[in-house]
Chains A and B, each alone.
Chain A
C-alpha cells in the first residue's frame, strides 16, 4: 500500500492515471507517517520510507529511503 499526506482527491487522480491496483492511504493528519518514521519534516511531504510487515504483524524490514518505482515490486517477489 502506498501512503502519503495527500487528500483522497489527489491520490485518486494519481491512482487512476497509473491504474494502480493497490490502495493509496491518505494520511492527512500524518498519524501513520509519524508512527512509521516518515514524517521527518512537518513542512514537507512524507519521506520515502519502506516497510515490510510480516504475517504476525511485526516489522520485518524498515528502510529510511526506497525507490518507489522498483522497491515495492522487488520486495513483493520475496514474500
Chain B
C-alpha cells in the first residue's frame, strides 16, 4: 500500500471530455485524487 513519502505512481488517463490527463502535467503543483465507485452515486 502507498505510504506518505512514496513516489506517486505516474498515470495517464482520459478525462470526461476525452482529454488525456497525466500526473506529470501537474509537476510543481499539489494534486488531490479521489476515487469514486460509480458516476453520480451518493456516499
Contacts and interface: CB of A to CB of B under 8 A. Distances in A.
Interface residues of A, number: 50
B35 A3 contact: yes
A36 B9 contact: yes
Interface residues of B, number: 38
Contacts of A54: 30
B34 A6 contact: no
A8 B17 contact: yes
A11 B39 contact: yes
16 contacts: A2-B36, A3-B13, A6-B39, A11-B39, A12-B17, A15-B16, A24-B16, A25-B13, A33-B35, A35-B9, A46-B35, A51-B32, A62-B3, A68-B36, A68-B43, A75-B32
